[in-house]
Amino acid sequence: MRKLLVTGGAGFIGGNFVHHWCREHDADRVIVLDALTYAGNRATLATLIAEQRIEFVHGDITDTPLLDRLFREHAIDTVVHFAAESHVDRSIVDPGAFVRTNVVGTQTLLDAALKAWRVDGLWRENVRFHHVSTDEVYGTLAPNDPPFSEATPFAPNSPYSASKAGADHLVRAYVHTYGMPATISNCSNNYGPYHFPEKLIPLIIVNALHGRPLPVYGDGRQIRDWLFVEDHCIAIEQILSADVAGQTFNVGGRAEHVNIDIVRRLCELLDARFASDATLAARFVECPAARGIACDSLITYVKDRPGHDRRYAIDPTLIATTLGFEPRETLTTGLARTVDWYLTNEPWWRSVMDGSYRDWISSQYQRTLT
């Protein structure tokens, strides 16, 4: 039986991972630590908490006494570290919050694991620290450049990606200096259920349902590699189950697409859902599709983000050949599942759209309309 500490487990990827792990590893003990900042939502884990499948702890990864107590009281042997500030736009406005959580928080968590797992210079058996990172640490790619590999030099271009690169370097340093049994995964853009509606895909879905502008940065030709979040959870599970301590794996969806095409595909899916289900028009009266108008009529080009990376792409060869991982969802099936989840889980996303969210969307997008 494993005893996992999942940081950021009430967030998007972390919440999906907790659900996945509880489904697949019923005997394991899962402790979720989350600071419940704006993007963390306890409702994501409500059923697991109610069923006592997990223990939820409201706290911060920079709180050393709290971390020491959790490692001691729960005999934690596995850390899966998702907790991070992750929205590039917010990092441009407030870089310090990203350094505090992503860099200082990771170092504090590493120290807690070091203290709990290394005694008299010897490491406990069967312990693992897994750090979840991003492809953004590698910077940007030109159209004809090969995708990022694990050997690609770091070249972060935003305060967010710089803070994640700093965290990656710390994990590597603890592996090299102390022998920390740690692994790292650098993933491409995730999408799927429980995604806070500030990132592209959930923002487009929720704004369309509200009849609000669908903001597209610049010319919309930025390229991203898309990974369905459940596939990402499976990849992390495979890394944790393998004897690969000290290694880094790039996890991608083999799905490079231009942002504006993603927006249009989401609009087409919503149009089709409204055309085939008359009840949706009564539930979402503000959506153009409720009146037979195409959702892409809401597309609005806005001024580009400062320092916006043009292209990300992941080369997943290493994890495919080493662990046999391949994404199960195509972009077509993944986007369809995502749209259907938001249509059937309206209470969840409405619960996160509080005043601070609306103020943020207004300040970041409406002022930049061209």
pLDDT, tens digit (0-9, with 9 covering 90-100), for 48-106: 999 999 999 999 999 999 999 999 999 999 999 999 998 788 888 899 999 999 999 99
Candidates 77, 85, 135, 256; catalytic one: 135
pLDDT of residue 37: 86
Task: Determine, yes or no, domain membership for 186.
Answer: yes
Q: How far apart are the first and last CA of the chain?
A: 56
68 is catalytic: no
Identify the domain containing residue 82 by its residue range: 3-194+229-254+311-328
Confidence of residue 370 (pLDDT cuts 50, 70, 90): very low
- Report residue 50 as tokens: 């109610």
pLDDT at residue 367 greater than cutoff 50: no
Dihedral over alpha carbons 92, 61, 248, 177 (to 10 degrees): 110
Task: Determine, yes or no, domain membership for 264.
Answer: no
Residues 6+ away with beta carbon under 8 Å from 207: 197, 213, 214, 215, 298
- How many structural domains compose the chain? 1
Candidates 34, 60, 77, 160; catalytic one: 160
136 is catalytic: yes
pLDDT at residue 356 greater than cutoff 90: no
pLDDT of residue 135: 95
pLDDT at residue 7 greater than cutoff 90: yes
pLDDT of residue 359: 53
User: From CA 279, how far away is CA 197, in angstroms rounded?
Assistant: 23
pLDDT of residue 89: 82
Question: What phi and psi, each to the nearest 5 degrees, are found at residue 351?
Answer: -70, -25
User: From CA 235, how far away is CA 296, in angstroms rounded?
Assistant: 34
Task: Determine, yes or no, domain membership for 356.
Answer: no
Beta bridge partners, 132, equal 185
The domain that holds 242 is classified in CATH as 3.40.50.720
Q: For 276-333, write each residue's pLDDT tens digit.
A: 999 999 999 999 999 999 999 999 999 988 888 899 999 999 999 999 999 999 999 9
User: From CA 166, how far away is CA 156, in angstroms rounded?
Assistant: 10
Q: How many whole angstroms from its chain centre is CA 356? A: 20
Q: What is the pTM of this model?
A: 0.93
Task: Determine, yes or no, domain membership for 170.
Answer: yes
Nearest 5°: the CA angle 150, 314, 251 is 75
Beta bridge partners, 31, equal 5, 55
Task: Determine, yes or no, domain membership for 39.
Answer: yes
Task: Determine, yes or no, domain membership for 239.
Answer: yes
Confidence of residue 151 (pLDDT cuts 50, 70, 90): very high
pLDDT of residue 365: 43
- Report residue 191 as tokens: 């999408």
Candidates 34, 136, 309, 315; catalytic one: 136
Task: Determine, yes or no, domain membership for 16.
Answer: yes
55 is catalytic: no
pLDDT at residue 229 greater than cutoff 50: yes
pLDDT at residue 354 greater than cutoff 80: no
* Averaged confidence pLDDT in the chain: 93
| Strand order across the beta sheet in which 223-228 lies | 189-191, 223-228, 256-258
pLDDT of residue 49: 96
Around 281, how many Cα atoms within 13 Å sit in the side-chain half-sphere? 13
User: From CA 100, how far away is CA 269, in angstroms rounded?
Assistant: 39
Q: For 166-183, write each residue's pLDDT tens digit.
A: 999 999 999 999 999 999
Instruction: Give the least confident one: 53-57, 233-237, 243-247, 307-311.
Output: 307-311
Task: Determine, yes or no, domain membership for 62.
Answer: yes
pLDDT of residue 358: 53
User: From CA 343, how far away is CA 295, in angstroms rounded?
Assistant: 15
- pLDDT above 70 as % of the chain: 95
CA distances 167 to 73, 82, 103, Å, are: 26, 12, 5
pLDDT of residue 362: 46
